[in-house]
Amino acid sequence: MSRSSLFDHRRAGLLLHPTSLPGSYNSGVLGLEAYRFLDFMAACGFTVWQTLPLGPTQEDLSPYSAQSVHAGNPRLISLEQLIDIGLLKKDNGPRTDEDGWNYQKRRLVEAHRSFRESGMSRVEYDEFLHHNQYWLEDYVLFQAIRTAQGYSSWVEWPRALRDRHPQEIAEVFQNSKDNIEQCRFEQFLFYQQWAAIKRYANENGILIFGDIPLFVGHDSADVWAQRHCFLLDEEGNPHVVAGVPPDYFSSTGQLWGNPHYDWESLRGDGFQWWKDRIRTQLNQFDLLRIDHFRGLESYWEIPANAQTAVIGKWRQAPGDELFRALRTEFGHLPLVAEDLGIITPAVEALRDDHGLPGMKVLHFAFGGERDNAYLPHNHVQNSVVYTGTHDNNTTLGWLEEINFETRTHISDYLGGNFDSTALIRTAFASVANLAVIPMQDILALGGEHRMNQPGVATGNWRWRFRWEQVSQGTTAWYRHLLELYGRI
């Protein structure tokens, strides 16, 4: 399928991060449950699986502040798949003193040892190293030093390592060979397993929809290895940081803390950093959402020492230049603009000039004026409609907490209907060519099952579903709805 045809007809999809898949470890993995989920999607008639970013996370598990924009999260590697191909033998699971992730790490070391000693062909492995050299070597070096430095931020490393002095870097490669090779191997496993899942999805008519956070985590291989791309001082600390002013989600705005880009530096080599980033993502996904798209037209710049995002200023970004450079490099780009929040005519013009679908979220539609862009009668075909996103409450939880005015508006607008199924039907009925429903809403789950609560530092990104939550008749019901609304 050509990239330009992805939005040529009506589709429906599910939003579920792979970490939310069922399973026996702390996190969902790229194993049998992922294939079972794809089978469930196909039986229902859904043809798009939307995920969150897949990069290696920090301790808070947020996929939006990963340690690399290229690497995959090793927590997602399926040990069962490694048993199936003979790299591991079955065992009894974690020791009593061992949590799930430490168990996975130990088993991945065993798998690497088995790979080295087994005499298995290295052709695919060597090809992976060759094709991904443009990001992989910086990433494995970053991880080796980070481990040796007790997982501290790279700005706290000894100056020679922080500033990548050649002699000290060469010594790391020499002294940390085992850790570096282990990290390379884990990335190879992740990419193999993800490629197999994407291939299976595509063979069953399902597209994989990825997510690109606009900004990059400061404590990441990308910022450490390419400091010239970011606004940092001589010690690597940001002058200013990213976020958004007060909005629907927070009265004090959102202070993300990511460093801002040095756009003049990025212009200097034709946005090569962005080209490399998009190249990696286009290999992993069929289409991509650009999170915080408005930051490519202008971005909210907050002093690095600020306690909230209230004080800041808007700065212009060269989004039009960037998209022109990317189109020259890749041709048609299968991108969706996350155009939520404070959207100006200039942001809309950037989106529309490049033909990018925007987002329509039904949780934002009700309780206001008739010209609200999220109300279904104002939707356009070239858009993606959601009941809610990973940052919203579940639809059931949202319906339980909204005020009387909004309840009345919903009931009146939907002809007396007031439940999560009515909102899902409304999304399917929209003229938007793609409708995406969070898995929590398919299962009619309450607010305790939400994925993320912006502005709350702990407890996010851990939600997982269970197959027993899928009631009998679900597949037939959703297949009926998708046929009814022309999305199959």
Instruction: State the catalytic residues.
Output: 291, 338, 391
CA distance 45 to 439: 14
CA distance 431 to 427: 9
Task: Give the pair of three-digit tokens for residue 473.
Answer: 């008749």
Strand partners, 361: 386
Contact yes or no for 309/255 (Cβ under 8 A): yes
The count of other CB atoms within 10 Å of the CB of residue 228 is 11
Q: Three-class SS of residue 234? A: coil
Contact yes or no for 310/245 (Cβ under 8 A): yes
Torsion of CA 199, 479, 473, 428, to 10 degrees: 110
Rg (CA), the chain: 23
CA distance 232 to 235: 8
Instruction: Output the DSSP codes for 173-194.
Output: HHHTHHHHHHHHHHHHHHHHHH
CA distance 326 to 397: 40
What is the crossing angle of helices 319-330 and 272-284, to 10°? Answer: 60
What is the crossing angle of helices 272-284 and 133-148, to 10°? Answer: 90
Contact yes or no for 329/378 (Cβ under 8 A): no
Strand partners, 23: none
What is the crossing angle of helices 166-175 and 133-148, to 10°? Answer: 80
Q: Three-class SS of residue 357? A: coil
Burial class (CB in 10 A: 0-12, 13-18, 19+), 473: exposed
Start-to-end CA span in the chain (Å): 16
Query: What is the dihedral sign for C-alpha 337, 190, 192, 173?
Result: positive
Q: How many CA atoms lie within 13 A of 401 on its CB side?
A: 11
Task: Give the pair of three-digit tokens for residue 100.
Answer: 């799930």
Query: What is the dihedral sign for C-alpha 440, 441, 445, 446?
Result: positive
179 CA to centre of own chain: 27
Burial class (CB in 10 A: 0-12, 13-18, 19+), 252: middle
DSSP H or E segment with residue 258: strand 254-259
